[in-house]
Amino acid sequence: MDTMGLVRSPKSRISMGPNPRRVRMATAAKPLDLTSLPGEIQNSIVHALDGLSQAALRSTNKYFRKIVPAPDLRLVEQDPAAKDHKLYACFDCRRLRREHHFSDEQKEYTYSRGHSITRFCLDCGLHTRYISGTIVTKQGRRYIKCHCRRPGLQAVSKRSADQFCVHCWDDRQLNNRSDRTQIVGRAKRHKRKEPIFMVAQGGALRPTGYTASDIISMLTVPKSTHGIVPRSPEWSRQHDLVTMLQAVIPAPRPPVLKGPLVSETLSEMLREYCHIPAEGYFLVSQTGKISWIAL
The whole-number average pLDDT for the span 154-168 is 71
Per the CB < 8 A criterion, the answer to whether 281 and 267 are in contact is yes
What is the C-alpha separation between 116 and 90, in angstroms, rounded? 9
Higher pLDDT, 265 or 195: 265
Residue, of 12 and 41, whose pLDDT is higher: 41
The pTM of the whole model exceeds 0.75: no
290 or 141, which is more confident: 141
Q: Please report which confidence band the pLDDT of residue 188 belongs to, taking 50, 70 and 90 as the band edges.
A: low
- pLDDT higher than 50, residue 122: yes
| Domain layout of the chain by residue ranges | 130-186, 197-294
Q: What is the band of 248 on the pLDDT scale with cuts at 50, 70, 90?
A: very low
Model confidence pLDDT, tens digit, residues 194-231: 443 333 333 334 444 444 444 444 444 444 434 444 44
Question: Lowest mean pLDDT: which of 194-208, 242-256, 275-289?
Answer: 194-208
Which candidate, 193, 195, 215, 201, places its Cα nearest to that of 269?
201
The pLDDT value recorded for residue 142 is 82
pLDDT, the chain, mean: 63
The winner for highest mean pLDDT among 57-66, 157-166, 170-179 is 57-66
Q: In angstroms, rounded to a whole number, what is the distance separating the alpha carbons of residues 230 and 59? A: 80
Amino acid at the residue 248: V
Note the pLDDT of residue 272.
59
SS (H, E, C) 36-72: HCCHHHHHHHHHHCCHHHHHHHHCCCHHHHHHCCCCC
Check: CB of residue 265 under 8 Å from CB of residue 223. Answer: no
Q: 144 has which bridge partners?
A: 135, 154
Q: For the ranges 23-27, 74-78, 178-182, 201-205, which has the lowest average pLDDT?
A: 201-205
Give mean pLDDT, residues 83-90.
Answer: 84
